[in-house]
Structure 1
């Protein structure tokens, strides 16, 4: 009887293949890749142009503000925050900033009130609505040089139309007390059309049944304006206020044209932007002008962020 030896062969268990879980970084790259594939190529030209004409100049200007660069670009050395310290001690910086702030305080409330009145007229007009809209918006299409020269002629003391119509002989552009007022009037006439369009669009979105219900309850036109129109225009008024403040702080074009690139009588109309350009292109101090311009940038940024903070708090309170 022969013995049969059985050999036992050990077979290793088959390894279960599991799909590898993608990491968070890989998922993000894939997600952004899909988004770029769908729409990235359409917005890429904008980002390229934005980087070349906004980001690069801003970074370059920030670097120049830390140097003593002149307009020729020769012998530039790093000076750190010296330009900023000098700007904070410069009386002309503060006076020009005050002129810009004063102009803003004058022109912004006027634009809001006049634009709202113009929008109400164009909205409720029975005949020739297109003519009202054209007349109110047309000045906004004019170039700043045309507006400045036009109002320079209108404010002339001898043959100007303003004095002729009002029966005055006031030297509007030659005396300190009326110099800024002349700029405010010219700016109001020129720029109110943009805010007028915003208000007109907002008026057309107010539901008509609110006015009908108020009229049935006996509310007159003034009460309907006060309790229906104004509350429904709150958001657009905040937008107009923010846009006009940011634009008014940068006032430059019409001022330098009306006053022939001068600072006005007793330097009463020299604005912040004008003083910046004087330092850069008259005194040839590019580094110092860059520092001044970044101070204005910080002021505008604070205003914009403050507006966003107030809007967010208002939305949270409404919830």
Structure 2
């Protein structure tokens, strides 16, 4: 009796071997086709004008004369740094930033924490705080010009009824910048408020429950849980608010009509280019101010990263 021979099983390639020997798919040009429209628009309307403005900053280009004009080298920059108008506009911008950035960061955090603790009516509060932010700058300016009119405005009527003589909120140099800053606070608070609400949603509720079991008060929960865990959100909100305040133009221009006591840097650039027709000098001011904003943003980013590393 002969024994049957059994053929050895055929080796089948494993999925691991197949995956290791498979060639990666060839990249096609589809992603670039989708990015091309945005890239073209960004080149035409952002990078192109920025590069052209950089070139203009070295010429005495005029809005009413054709061509670039005569080359002046760094003459436009030297005029800015030695003139008093640019430094006055820069100080007004810094003052506005100091008036608006700390309150907009702190108040938005406080309101977000309070609204997040509200059970009923939560959506109503969110809508009420965010609603002013969607208004155009011209609408905001018209509303508050009517309210702050010294003789017949709504605020003047209320103050007069209690025997208080209202000042010229937008005409008095001592009150104009603070008034515009207050309007900006009312107008843009909702954006930072929404960012903080989004950050609060990422904090686990179990942390608050455990802290409550350990006897922590609501204030202790806020200072020891909420504020530390919102550190990155606070850094983001502060950076965005700093840049937004440094770029202020609309509300100041519409509410104070270009008064020298409140004129920011961007209004100085506008006046130089479109009122004095000195496009080259306006371009130099834009480039110099861009470098200042870039420096402030870089220093804030560096300080934020160092603080995260030391934790």
TM-score bucket (shorter structure): 0.7 to 0.9
From 208, 218, 221, the equivalent of 1:221 is 218
Residue 128 of structure 1, aligned match among 116, 121, 127: 121
Rounded to whole Å, the distance in 2 between the matches of 1:297 and 1:235 is 25
Give 1:166-185 correspondences, 5 Å limit: 166=159, 167=162, 168=164, 169-185=166-182
After TM superposition, the score normalised by the length of structure 2 is: 0.87
1:275 to 2:268 alignment: yes
Cα distance in 2 between the residues matched to 1:196 and 1:186: 16
Question: Which has more radius of gyration?
Answer: 1
Q: Does the Cα contact within 8 Å between 2:258 and 2:267 map onto a contact in 1?
A: no
Residue number in structure 2 paired with 1:57: 49
Whether the 8 Å CA contact 2:150–2:167 is kept in 1: the answer is: yes
Unaligned runs of 5+ in 2: 1-23
Answering whether residue 33 of structure 2 is matched by residue 41 of structure 1, we say yes
Q: 2:164 aligned with 1:164, yes or no?
A: no
Structure 1 residue aligned with 2:95, among 102, 105, 119?
Answer: 102
Consecutive unaligned residues in structure 1, runs of 5 or more:
1-30
> Residues 209-248 of structure 1: matches in 2 within 5 Å?
209-248=206-245
Match of 1:317 in 2: 310
| Partner SS for 1:127 | coil
Q: How many residues align?
A: 283
Deviation track 1:129-163 (CA, whole Å, cap 9, x = no partner) reads 11111110010000011111111111111222223
TM-score in terms of structure 1 length: 0.85
Q: Aligned equivalents of 2:39 and 2:158: distance in 1? A: 52
- Shifted more, 225-234 versus 73-82: the winner is 73-82
TM-aligned CA deviation for residue 176 of structure 1: 1.2
**1-structure distance, mates of 2:83, 2:143:** 34
> 1:36, CA displacement in angstroms?
5.8
| Aligned-partner SS, 1:159 | coil
RMSD of aligned C-alpha atoms? 1.7
Which residue pairs with 1:78 in the alignment? Answer: 71
User: Displacement, 1:35?
Assistant: 5.0
Distance 2:219 2:102 in 1: 20
Partner of 1:201: 198
Which residue in the other structure is 1:28 paired with?
none
